[in-house]
Amino acid sequence: MKIGVLGGDGYCGWATALYLSAKGYSVAIMDNFARRQWDYELGVQTLTPIRPLAERLRVWQELTGKSIQLFVGDVTDYDFLASTIKAFEPDAVIHFAEQRAAPYSMIDRRHAVFTQVNNVVGTLNLLFALREYCPDCHLVKLGTMGEYGTPNIDIEEGYIEIEHNGRKDVLPFPKQPGSFYHLSKVHDSHNMMFACKIWKLRATDLNQGVVYGTTTEETLLDEALINRFDYDEVFGTVLNRFCAQAAVGHPLTVYGRGGQTRGFLDIRDTVRCVELACLHPAEPGECRVFNQFTEQFSVLEIAELVKAAGNKLGLDVEIDRIQDPRVESEQHYYNAKHSRLLDLGLKPHYLSDSLLDSLMNIAVRYRDRIDVSMFLPQVDWRKASNERRTVREVTSSLVARV
């Protein structure tokens, strides 16, 4: 099987590309290195030192004898994307090539506009390119559980059966996105459903929870292959931030009451979920949805787990509560279904088994690279300005373009 990985230099994309290559698939990465530019724009760096992509690919080939093709370009450039699809002729395309941080989309007008243009236009371009050159190709798109919000009913996998005034129908589950980023993913989902209906494309929307973990079997082969560990308040996950804070003796910053509950999964399960979707493709005309997570925790529960893991390493970990910069429910009902990937054969890794090895030990190992000024929130959902200077007076060409 020939599989294209859009955004293959990023966190999920890099781990996925290596995993699929190791499994014997023919893999091509398509990337424009925007994720690296956003670090520079914000004045932050991943906790783990990331090598240039060309070096990563060279080391991978030397270690395994397997080559990964590279196409450098932007998914919002239709000519590039279409020519790449035509040249590679993939059986499946994994679409990670989006701006994926809610706080980044809430910085100001410019970042909100960029996020929606980049994500929505990129996905539309991909749909048109597949229709034109690879109509039987299976699109596996990374969605987000954040599309659903936190409704006071159980969250189904993409669709819900509704009875209204004596009539029944199966409809897309209601969306309650919490940021301009999450809104862009909702637009993607609707565009994919529409394209599958009118063009008989086949697509799987993976509504993913919060991903954690730095190591997979492939990235452990050499430090040059190490994956990202983002802990800053814009791109870092709450779990990564807590681990970095624990490593340097900073209190764990819980937003508000800490009852915000989300789904979580190990990066090793992310790559396996992608493979399972590829091995069991959607039918022509089908746009199916899998909720991709294995466990759910509240922010306060995550803080307690990190505190316990830190104590095992001899760290003195405290928990502090600060005002929530986001507009969200700080205590709510949350029960999301996630059975379809388990039915396909996913055997989950659990946070309790990997917190020390895949997160805490990494944070301690590289703690000299931690910048504590990046812990506290600077992006306020209620005060998103019309224009805002970033930490550095350098703006990426992608943002400036919009």
CATH number of the domain bearing residue 311: 3.40.50.720
Looking at residue 389, what is its pLDDT?
Answer: 46
> How many domains is the chain built from?
1
Per-residue pLDDT reduced to its tens digit, 1-44: 999 999 999 999 999 999 999 999 999 999 999 999 999 999 99
Residue indicated by tokens 């394209």 = 195
CB 208 within 8 A of CB 290: no
Measure Cα distances from 114 to 235, 273, 397, 399, 401 in Å.
16, 29, 11, 6, 9
- Residue 389 in any domain: the answer is no
Instruction: Indicate whether 288 belongs to any domain.
Output: yes
* Strand, helix or coil for residue 191: helix
pLDDT range class, residue 400, cuts 50, 70, 90: very low
Each residue's pLDDT tens digit, 159-176:
999 999 999 999 999 999
Task: Check whether 398 has a pLDDT greater than 60.
Answer: no
- Is residue 401 a part of any domain in this protein? no
Average pLDDT over every residue of 333-338: 98
**Residue 217 has what pLDDT?**
97
Six token digits for residue 138:
């299976």
Residue 265: the pLDDT is: 98
Catalytic residue, chosen from 11, 133, 181, 255, is: 181
Q: Is residue 128 part of a domain?
A: yes
Hey, how many other C-beta atoms are within 10 angstroms of the C-beta on 282?
Answer: 18
Which range marks the domain in which residue 65 is found?
2-376
Say what the pLDDT of residue 293 is.
98
Q: Report the chain's C-alpha Rg in angstroms.
A: 20
Is 144 an annotated catalytic residue?
A: yes
Per-residue pLDDT at 396 exceeds 60: no
> Interhelix angle for 238-247 vs 299-312, to 10°?
30
% of residues, the chain, pLDDT over 90: 94
Whether 294 is a known active-site residue: answer: no
Which token pair is 64?
């395994």
User: Is 25 domain-assigned?
Assistant: yes
Band (pLDDT 50/70/90 cuts) for residue 385 is low
Residue 248 or residue 383, greater confidence: 248
Which residues, 6+ apart, have CB-to-CB distance to 343 below 8 Å?
none
Write b or e for each residue in 232-241: b if 16 or more Cβ atoms lie within 10 A of its Cβ, otherwise e.
bbbbbbbbbb
> Residue 395 has what pLDDT?
38
Say if residue 397's pLDDT is above 90. Answer: no
For 75, the token pair is 């998914």
Q: How far is CA 379 from CA 106, 180, 313, 348, 374, in A?
A: 7, 13, 32, 34, 11
Known catalytic residue at 185: yes
Please check whether residue 392 lies inside any domain of the structure: no
- Name which of 218-232, 236-250, 373-387 the model is least confident about: 373-387
Rounded percentage of the chain residues whose pLDDT exceeds 70: 95
Question: Does residue 371 lie in a domain region?
Answer: yes
When the pLDDT of each residue in the chain is averaged and rounded to a whole number, the result is 95
What digits encode the pLDDT tens for the residues 260-287? 999 999 999 999 999 999 999 999 999 9
- The pLDDT assigned to 386 comes to 62
